[in-house]
Structure formats: structure tokens, C-alpha cells
Structure 1
């Protein structure tokens, strides 16, 4: 239990349903959908689409998603891959011939076809109850009437606004500048797109006038995308992967997401007595950081499009984790491995919903970098992701840019399972941090016995390509001890990540927790 003398927030407790996400309007929308008779899938999609209006620098219908979910009354966890493909004509050879060593992040070459809309339409039809018109109505309403810009959103908007190009500046800036906290952001052109999708389904987005608008923007910027690329976009059901830590199963989405990295990281940490360490001490940070370097090096070498990831079993094998754990020196930091995957970043949104029938949804949705590629379509203002910057241009690498391939993604939804029952859908936003964030949240809960909200609130540190980023929640003494261990320590300007989670208690009571690093909350009824 938290100390009520100190600043903080309590978890949210409810019986009929809970949503936890990074913006209050999206959480409220999800609960409204549940009250209207929708299930957790309806609510999660409704809230996610609205987040593209509330937090357009983080996500939108020009992006991708991954989903883990259970069906009411059934313990099996399902996975759905809503990530889009590179254009069929995309080629690493072409970019290398231009002298490039990485995919330019703010170019049409970095734009993969958005996959989220197809996934939302499929899941709403196959798993939802209410239909697309009801699910999309809240986002249509707020896109037209506007949303007051929240404080953390305004902070991120200001930091990322400089990458907006051409017509994107007209759509996402107010009088040429980032909006301030409390100013109203409207996206009436997106309301038009959503209305078309509500009437006609995914074809309204991937064919016809809307697709032509996106294609025109990409081709004008030098992209090699075609109408066939958009029309052929299709998500896919897939099989989750998992690992065990303290008798708890950590369930992750398989590649092309980086969920395997979180499992490998936890497998490495099992070789250390983490529970004996100070939860806010330098030694815990050091062990986690060293394990992160090793797990991320494996990620950078092995993870890619599902059809090109051939050593997943090796990555998840206990023997692999044992060999890597033996490389960690508790008294000295090792050199960080050079990243082979060219671009990772921090911007995404996450939403989780559990309904009264026990259906649980863990959904993550992103345009990659802040404001994605910075390219928006002229007529409808659809901001296009730059997930293709997650490809490498290294010849022969599994994650090499290629036509029709999915890039390695940083975004990963998670679930915890015990005795074959889902007990906690969760996600930790923060780009490359996400795998480390999953491991740390699980460790906070099961090594240190923290309650759910405290586990999310606790300060974070992350070794990001050799930069040991340590939040201000840690003491100067901890930072000095990390420097003495050989880490290059900095205090990040932006708080690290943002988590959302719902615990499903044996009694059926639901406990929702939301990260104070974001503007959101957990709401229930």
C-alpha cells in the first residue's frame, strides 16, 4: 500500500470492466462502450482510434498495431499482427546505391503501408459486438468538435513538431506552432475518413479516394508505393510466445515485434538473485542494464519479418540465456553493442481493457517516431508512419529492407498468465525501452512485491545504446555508483516510457493502474 502522506495515485478497482490508457477521454470512451453492451475488443478499438486524435504525435490511422487478447470464458491467448508491409518495389540496393547507410527517417522510403485500420476492422468484425459505426463514433465526434491538448501531449508535440512537412504542418500545427496545453485540436478531415470506414469497412481506407490521397503524398515525396500495395494490406492471426519468471508466464507477441527480447531479458535475469537487491539501488540497475545490452544485441541480430526470423527458438532457449548471463560482470559495465537495426524510438500509445465477461485485450498502436515520417496526405491529413526506418540496410541481414517485408517493431503488448489463466494484461510504452520495461514491471511485482500502481510509478533507468538514462526519481548517490561501475550516466529530458495494466483478481474484481508519466488514467465501473 502506498504512503498516503506522499503524492501519488491509487489504483482503480471495479467489477464490471476497466480500461487503462494514456488519455482520460480514451479511457472514458472505452468504459462508455462497455456500458452500451460492447465487449473489451469494441472498447479497446474505440479508445485506440480516439487516441490518434488525443495524441496525434504518438499514433493514428496511418500507423500499425499489435494485439493480444482472450475471448470471454476461454483462457487461450490470441495474437494479431496489424503491422503493414514495405512497398513491393522497396529495395535496400536502391538506397545503398544512393550512398545511404540507413533508411532516412523522415522520407517516403521509411513509410510502410499502415496496417492498423485493417486490423481494427477485422477484429471489430470477428471479435466485437457493436460494429464499426458504434466503435468509431466517439473518435469521429472528437475529431470534429476538438480535444483540449493535455500537458504531456503538449510537451511531446512541441518537441516533435519540427519534423512535420508540407501539408502536415497545416493539419497538426496551430498558426504555424505546436498547440499549448488547453488549446483545442481538431481533425475534421480525419472524421471524414473514419466515417467512410464506419460505412464501408477497410476498403474505404485502402482503396479509392483515401488511398489515392496517401499515395499521392508518398509518390510526390519520392516513394515507390503503389495502389496494389495498399489494396493488398492484410493483418494476420499468429501464435503468442512466452517465458516463465517466478512461476509467472510472460506472454508476448511474436516477431516482427520485439517481445522475444523481453523474454530473453527475463531469462537472463533469472540467473541473478534480483530479489535480494535494493529495488531502487545501483546494483539492480547495473544487472538489468548489462542483461539489456545482451538481449538487445540478440534482438538486433535475429528479429525481423516473421518469414525471415529463423532463430527464434535459439533466442528463447534457456541455454542461450545462461551463456549470456555468464558474460555479466557485477562489478563493471561492458561496452554497448552497436545497433544493427537502424532506428528505434519512444512514441506510441497503449490501451488495455477487461470486461465483465473476462475478455482481456492488450493493444499497442503507433506511428513510430514523433509524428511518424512527418508526411501527411493533402486532402485528408493522414499522418504516415515511418516504421520502415526500423529496417537495416545491411546486406543479407534478416531485417534488411525489402519489398513486401515487415520491419522489426519496437511495440509489444504483454500479458501475464498464472496456472493457465490471464492475470494481467499490460503494456509499457517507450520504443526501445519496451522490452526492458516489461521485464522491470514483472520484477517489481514478483521480486519486490510491489502493488500494481507502485510498480508502475517506481523510477526507471535504461541503457540506451551506451547512454545510461536515469530518471530524476533516483538519488545522486545511485547515479554516482553507476558511474563508478563504468556507465555513462545522464538524466533524460523526457520521462522513460509509460505503462498501463489491469490485474484480474481471483475474485473477479479488477484493479487498473496507469502511469503518471502520461496524462491518462484507469477508469472502471
Structure 2
């Protein structure tokens, strides 16, 4: 009995941490999910289950990705919805090729730079009608479906329509961000009617219904893409924005087009890492990895001051180019091949002082800059890496009557500086933060992954690759590991922030690392929540199985069958 009492006291006084796991790093939240026939990883469990239901019913990964994304627009409006944009990287197993889709929308024809200057704006507002650009999500669905889909859109969108009509229980993290978004956006016409039933944001566990969104999705499913961009929905959006004092018009909606693009890549220690080219920021991931490749990261050790310092300095350098060059390639000639070249990385790396944090790095001189992520894989080997967003969580606050969704505010990311690559121009795609990623090994598909969260995304993508390749972490550990987040001194809008930026380190980094980083001149501040949200699927060709991992910082789930 005495020994039993001592054992109980020991358990009371010594907290049980993750190091009591049988295997894995002490920060791992769980083991990887492993399945043979299909895998889905999303930021909301109902969406993951819908993806699996579509796969089990004979649909492919593209069908399942569209279905899950539609559910996420309902269940997680704090990060995405059909009022936002979409990007995807798809591995076509039959053709054995990797393709990219840019389904981002453009700025209004009838709004130009002079409007902002004449009205005294030094930046485009975050909310309201002015930052609204054409929503590309629905067009992206139909582009994917036309090229790869196997099931009818009516069947694909049915689960989201059913959940919208019958309701679903709100999960914890989404409820938290919903409350924040509601407090910010309730001033705008139409928002409270959809997103604040009973006069407040719904709480965790409460059932939320969105019959207006159900009707909109039903119309899209039955009548196709043109119902959204050339039908009554487009007219409703245009009329509402005009009433709100904005400029998005029916012509803007009707003229929207997507772009199939070739992903860009770099090889990092034998692994080919793929991102989409601008107007997104994926190129920054490749630049960071190119700079890091010359260092012995493995020997430095995860969480060490040398590793964190080197990573942050590489990120700063890449983000200076991001601020200067990344923009809509239809308007400016972006030297992507030079930006991601090894020779350019060799030159840029010389700027890093191993003992001192840089306050500011000049952008390179070259010859002629909240969200959801999800991934699905099927039994034929197809894999989809998809990211979709409203921007700033729930978007602009602009909620057209009777449609059940909010329009994005991506236009905020345009610069108002004359001559800037990303300067505001009519019918132009803004600089975009959302980026899907893909990793190949020896010409074969390996990992479909993403990490959402604004400017966290490129630095997060690079950290995932380093965790997997240099530190030997498994797919779940690579996402659970504490993260580095650095706010950049320069922004794609052309504005300036704190000199040298501010470094946030997630809990889990040693105190000695923090002290040494302070000695090197880094400005470190605490932060809650800017560290992103990760989902990933890895294909193990030797055993012919999929591994899945989901973000422990979100409400997500990875599951397979």
C-alpha cells in the first residue's frame, strides 16, 4: 500500500508530458495515420470524413478534394469559402505528371490607382468593399473537375449542401476565430444574418445551419460554373458591392478565368520541392531552402541557436525579394528562374553573419513580388495539394444577400506605390499568400503538404522540409515540432515594419536558444496563434501505403481506409 501511495504522489507532482510516448519526439502529439486505399487530411474532421466517403463511393482524389473544400467553406468560414481564391498542385498518376492550378481572381476593371490617391489612402483597407477581388474558388473547382473529375458535381457537392441545411456542431478552434471575426465584421450589411444567429457568434458544440449557402451550392451543382459567374449569383454580388460603395461588377465576374501553370522547383538534398510561381509566394520557400542547403543543418540540431539564427536570416533574405518582385506575371516580367537558382542563393548567402541578426537586407538586383489547407490521395495514386482562403480569416465582411458566404479581401495586398511590381492596376491579380506544396523523390510522388497562415506559409513550408530531410522527423512529428515565425521588415504592399522584424518562437525552444538569439541581436516577442496549420500525405511506394498527418494546432484530422 505504501508503494502505491508513493506512486500516486509521483504522478500528482510530476506532469506527464509527451516524452512518455513509446516512440517519437517529445513534442509529437500522436503517431502517423497509415492506410492502403486512400487518405485525406483537412483542418476539420467532417470535411475529412466527406473526402473519405467520396473515395469509398468510387470517386477519385480530385472529386474528394472538391467535396471536402465545399464542406470546409461551410464548417470553417473563418478561413475559407466560395467567396475566396484557390490554388492546387495535382499529381496525375495516369500521366505521371505534376500540374498546378492558379484560381485566383482579379481586381475590378472600374477601380484604378488614382481613386486611392485622390481619396487619401496610403494602403488599401482591410475590410469593406474596396479590397474585394473576384472570387476564384468555384471556377477552380470546375477547372479541376473538367480535367480530372469522375463523379458528377451534384454528387460531389451533396454532403456540403446536406450539412448546410441540417447543420453541424462547431469545433473549438473554429469557434474561437469565429467569435473574433464576428466582433470585427458585424458592422457590415448581411453578415449578422448569416454568421451571428441569435445575435452572436455560435459557440463550441452548438449546431450551425446555413440554408442560404445550401441553396447557392445547389444552384452551382445543378447549373454549373456559369451559374456563379454569369447568372443570378454574379448579379447579386455586383449589385450588393455597388450598394456598399465598391467597384466589383458583373463584367468582372463574367470575365474571370483560371490558369493551369507549371509548378517551379528546387532540389534540396536529393528531394525535389515544388511550389506554384507568382502571383503566390511559393518561390520564397525555394529561395530559403537554396540558402540553407550549404549549411550542415543536421549537425546544428533542431532548436539550436545556430539553426534558428541561420533559418531566420535566410528567411529575411528571401522575403526582401518577395516584397520587391512577386506579383501578377501577366503585368510584370518576374525573374523566377534566377530567383530560385543555386547561383543566386550562393550570392545571397554571403550576406548572412553567423553572429549577428541583420536589421535589413537589400532585395537582390536581377536581370530582367487565414486560410485552409487540405490534401487527398486515392487508390489510383492521384494526389491533390489544395489551399483555399478568404484572407484575414472571414474575409472582407461583404456578405451578399441570400447567398450565405463572405467575399474575400485579397485586394488589400496590392501596393499603392507607383512603379512597384505589385502596384494596384485594374483586372490584375494581387500578390497572394496561399501556397500548396509537393515533394518528389527520384521522379516519383512523395509528399503532398501545406501549412496555412499568411506570411507564415513559406517559412513553415521550409521548416517542414528541413524537419523531414535534415532532422529525420516523421510526417506527424515534422508538423508538431515547435515553429519559428518571423515578421518581415518589408511587405509586398511596399510598406515597412519594425527594423529587422520580430521573431516569435513557439513554446518548446530551449531557454538557452532564446538567450543566444537575443545576444545575436534578434528581437524576440511572445505570440499566440501565428504558427500556421499543417496537413500532409506521404506515399510509401515500397509498401504501397499512404501516411497521413494533421495539424495539432487546429481542429483537423487525417484519416484513411
TM range (shorter): over 0.9
Structure whose alpha-carbon radius of gyration is higher: 2
| Contact 1:495-1:517 at 8 Å conserved across structures | no
In structure 1, what is the Cα distance between the partners aligned to 2:91 and 2:424? Answer: 33
TM normalised by structure 1 equals 0.96
| Contact 2:216-2:404 at 8 Å conserved across structures | no
Residue 408 (structure 1) aligned with residue 443 (structure 2)? no
| Contact 2:391-2:408 at 8 Å conserved across structures | yes
Residue 176 (structure 1) aligned with residue 199 (structure 2)? yes
Which residue is 2:457 aligned to?
434
Match runs of 1:234-313 below 5 Å:
234-307=257-330, 308-313=332-337
> Which residue of the other structure, out of 95, 100, 115, is the alignment partner of 1:94?
115
Instruction: Give a deviation string over 1:144-185, Cα, whole Å, max 9, x none.
Output: 111211111112122222221221122112333222211122
Which residue is 2:491 aligned to?
none
In structure 2, what is the Cα distance between the partners aligned to 1:323 and 1:72? Answer: 38
In structure 1, what is the Cα distance between the partners aligned to 2:198 and 2:435? Answer: 36
> Which residue of the other structure, out of 11, 29, 40, is the alignment partner of 2:50?
29
Q: Secondary structure at the match of 2:273?
A: strand
Which residue is 1:373 aligned to?
396
Which residue is 1:85 aligned to?
106
Unpaired runs of at least 5, structure 2: 1-17, 364-368, 489-500
Which residue is 1:521 aligned to?
557
> Which residue of the other structure, out of 349, 357, 363, is the alignment partner of 1:325?
349
Residue 488 (structure 1) aligned with residue 523 (structure 2)? yes
Q: Secondary structure at the match of 2:320?
A: helix
| Contact 2:325-2:334 at 8 Å conserved across structures | yes
Residue 511 (structure 1) aligned with residue 535 (structure 2)? no
Which residue is 1:362 aligned to?
385
> Which residue of the other structure, out of 37, 45, 68, is the alignment partner of 1:16?
37
Q: Secondary structure at the match of 1:427?
A: strand
Alpha-carbon offset, residue 337 of structure 1: 6.1
Which residue is 1:159 aligned to?
180
Alpha-carbon offset, residue 274 of structure 1: 1.1
Q: Secondary structure at the match of 2:198?
A: coil
| Contact 1:261-1:435 at 8 Å conserved across structures | yes
Instruction: Give a deviation string over 1:258-290, Cα, whole Å, max 9, x none.
Output: 111111111111122111112022221111111
Structure 1 outlier segments of 4+, above 6 Å? none
Residue 352 (structure 1) aligned with residue 375 (structure 2)? yes
In structure 1, what is the Cα distance between the partners aligned to 2:243 and 2:184? Answer: 17
In structure 2, what is the Cα distance between the partners aligned to 1:209 and 1:73? Answer: 38
In structure 1, what is the Cα distance between the partners aligned to 2:511 and 2:111? Answer: 48
| Contact 2:485-2:530 at 8 Å conserved across structures | no
Residue 478 (structure 1) aligned with residue 513 (structure 2)? yes
In structure 2, what is the Cα distance between the partners aligned to 1:137 and 1:154? Answer: 24
Residue 131 (structure 1) aligned with residue 152 (structure 2)? yes
Which residue is 1:104 aligned to?
125
> Which residue of the other structure, out of 237, 248, 251, is the alignment partner of 1:228?
251
Alpha-carbon offset, residue 309 of structure 1: 3.9
Residue 53 (structure 1) aligned with residue 74 (structure 2)? yes
| Contact 1:373-1:385 at 8 Å conserved across structures | yes
Which residue is 1:499 aligned to?
534
Alpha-carbon offset, residue 85 of structure 1: 0.8
Q: Secondary structure at the match of 2:374?
A: strand
Alpha-carbon offset, residue 474 of structure 1: 2.1
In structure 2, what is the Cα distance between the partners aligned to 1:175 and 1:168? Answer: 13
Instruction: Give a deviation string over 1:416-467, Cα, whole Å, max 9, x none.
Output: 0011111001001111111111111000001011111111100001111311
> Which residue of the other structure, out of 428, 445, 448, is the alignment partner of 1:422?
445
Q: Secondary structure at the match of 2:79?
A: coil
In structure 2, what is the Cα distance between the partners aligned to 1:2 and 1:92? Answer: 56
Alpha-carbon offset, residue 122 of structure 1: 2.0
In structure 2, what is the Cα distance between the partners aligned to 1:462 and 1:422? Answer: 28
| Contact 1:302-1:312 at 8 Å conserved across structures | no
Distance 1:101 1:438, change over 3 A: same
Q: Secondary structure at the match of 1:275?
A: helix
Larger deviation: 308-317 or 322-331? 308-317
| Contact 1:163-1:371 at 8 Å conserved across structures | no
Distance 1:428 1:371, change over 3 A: same
The alignment of Structure 1 onto Structure 2 pairs a total of residues equal to: 519
Which residue is 2:21 aligned to?
4
TM normalised by structure 2 equals 0.90
Distance 1:191 1:309, change over 3 A: farther
Residue 396 (structure 1) aligned with residue 419 (structure 2)? yes
In structure 2, what is the Cα distance between the partners aligned to 1:467 and 1:309? Answer: 31
Alpha-carbon offset, residue 142 of structure 1: 0.8
Instruction: Give a deviation string over 1:223-245, Cα, whole Å, max 9, x none.
Output: 11221110111111111100010
In structure 2, what is the Cα distance between the partners aligned to 1:406 and 1:314? Answer: 22
In structure 1, what is the Cα distance between the partners aligned to 2:361 and 2:226? Answer: 43
| Contact 2:211-2:404 at 8 Å conserved across structures | no
Unpaired runs of at least 5, structure 1: none
